[in-house]
């Protein structure tokens, strides 16, 4: 299993990345609160709301249409995609559509707790090609008293399209939305919505994402450094040009005429699995950077996950 590099960058300093075996939200759930533990110190009472949740439907923001405003009571909540979440605090849900260009259709959601807001804003990343709001991330961090937001990256209906990226083909502005603009505008508009609701802006802002969300995190840090005070970038998807080329190469190599027989392929697989099991000398959180030469006579090399 490859290593997920998680780096926390704060204004004026950089913390050494932590490395683990996380593959999804459970690991992020443990890393994120620990990494940002200091941000929870000195939390005061939630400021009196400057406006009601319902009145946010009339909020006027540039190139923004408020599409839904909902006061959600504490307890169980069924999200628009049918997911059911339990033990949530009462919160104000705001959905909006952002149209920075003629071809843009960026959807965002902002969830804000009615009470015990910690004064912090947390932007969350998406995954893959995007195309949907990740309600799981919103529901996970809301109980930690963050005002939290997510964007579909402006690629709907990519998530339900078998060809995934077809929504981006021939749409230069959507490509820009997907790569950088959607996350930046989600951040800007979310802060404005939060300030309108609470009557004051967030004291600190953080971003957390992995995979595509990790790439969002890197773009934010590199291109929009003033957006966030701290960034958690997990397993960022980078260098898509080379990644895409490798996918095409692999497809051509493994979907053309067979270069080896099925018996040979099975023998190679068995030898690799055997050697990896024998040489698997790392434990949770420890990875080897040393290549392992497999005795297959072909110079095949296996690289364990890279540590920090």
> Quick one: 207 and 268 in the same domain?
no
Structural domains counted in the chain = 2
Express as a percent the part of the chain with pLDDT over 90: 56
pLDDT tens digits, residue range 221-248? 999 999 999 999 999 988 878 888 988 8
> Quick one: 290 and 221 in the same domain?
no
> Quick one: 162 and 105 in the same domain?
yes
pLDDT band (50, 70, 90) for residue 280: low
- Domain of 93 in residue numbering reads as 4-242
> Quick one: 276 and 207 in the same domain?
no
Rounded average pLDDT over 58-87: 98
pLDDT tens digits, residue range 17-30? 333 333 334 444 44
Express as a percent the part of the chain with pLDDT over 70: 73
Q: Is residue 158 predicted with pLDDT exceeding 90?
A: no
> Quick one: 90 and 203 in the same domain?
yes
DSSP line for the chain = -PPEEEEEEETTEEEEEEEE---SHHHHHHHHHHHTGGGGTT--PPPPPSS-TGGGGG---TTEEEEEEEEE-SEEEE-TTS-EEEEEPPEEEEEEEE-SSTT--EEEEEEEESS---SEEEEE---TT--S--HHHHHHHGGGT-EEEEE-TT-TTGGG-TTSGGGGTT-HHHHHIIIIIHHHHHHHHHHHHHHHHHSS--SEEEEEEETHHHHHHHHHHHH-TTS-SEEEEES----HHHHHHHHHHHHHHHSSS-SS-HHHHHHHHHHHHHHHHHT----TT----S-EE-SSSS--EE-PPP--
Judge whether 269 lies within some domain: yes
pLDDT band (50, 70, 90) for residue 278: low
Give the pLDDT score at 47. 60
> Quick one: 273 and 195 in the same domain?
no
> Quick one: 45 and 162 in the same domain?
yes
> Quick one: 9 and 72 in the same domain?
yes
> Quick one: 149 and 234 in the same domain?
yes
Judge whether 252 lies within some domain: no
pLDDT tens digits, residue range 77-114? 999 999 999 999 999 999 999 999 999 999 999 999 99
Give the pLDDT score at 132. 96
Domain boundary, last residue among 186, 214, 242: 242
> Quick one: 164 and 196 in the same domain?
yes
């Amino acid at each position: 299993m490859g290593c997920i590099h998680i780096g926390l960058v704060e204004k004026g300093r950089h913390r050494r990345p932590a490395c683990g075996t996380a593959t999804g939200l459970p690991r992020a759930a443990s890393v994120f609160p620990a990494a940002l533990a200091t941000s929870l110190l000195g939390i005061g009472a939630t400021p009196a709301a400057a406006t009601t949740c319902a009145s946010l439907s009339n909020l006027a923001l540039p190139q923004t249409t408020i599409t839904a405003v909902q006061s959600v009571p504490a307890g169980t909540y069924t999200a628009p995609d049918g997911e059911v979440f339990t033990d949530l605090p009462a919160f104000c849900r705001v959905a909006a559509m952002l149209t920075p260009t003629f071809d843009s259709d960026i959807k965002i959601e902002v969830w804000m707790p009615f009470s015990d807001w910690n004064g912090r804003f947390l932007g969350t990343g998406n995954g893959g090609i995007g195309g949907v709001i990740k309600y799981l991330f919103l529901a996970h961090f809301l109980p930690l008293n963050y005002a939290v937001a997510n964007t579909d990256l402006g690629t709907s209906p990519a998530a339900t399209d078998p060809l995934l990226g077809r929504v981006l083909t021939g749409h230069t502005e959507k490509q820009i939305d997907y790569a950088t603009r959607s996350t930046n505008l989600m951040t800007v508009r979310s802060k404005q919505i939060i300030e309108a609701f609470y009557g004051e802006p967030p004291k600190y802002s953080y971003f957390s994402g992995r995979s595509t969300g990790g790439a969002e995190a890197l773009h934010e840090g590199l291109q929009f450094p003033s957006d966030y005070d701290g960034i958690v970038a997990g397993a960022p998807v980078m260098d898509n040009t080379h990644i895409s080329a490798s996918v095409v190469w692999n497809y051509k190599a493994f979907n053309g005429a067979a270069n080896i027989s099925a018996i040979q392929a099975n023998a190679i697989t068995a030898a690799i699995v055997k050697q990896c099991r024998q040489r698997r000398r790392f434990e949770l959180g420890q990875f080897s950077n040393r290549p392992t030469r497999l005795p297959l006579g072909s110079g095949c090399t296996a690289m364990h996950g890279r540590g920090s």
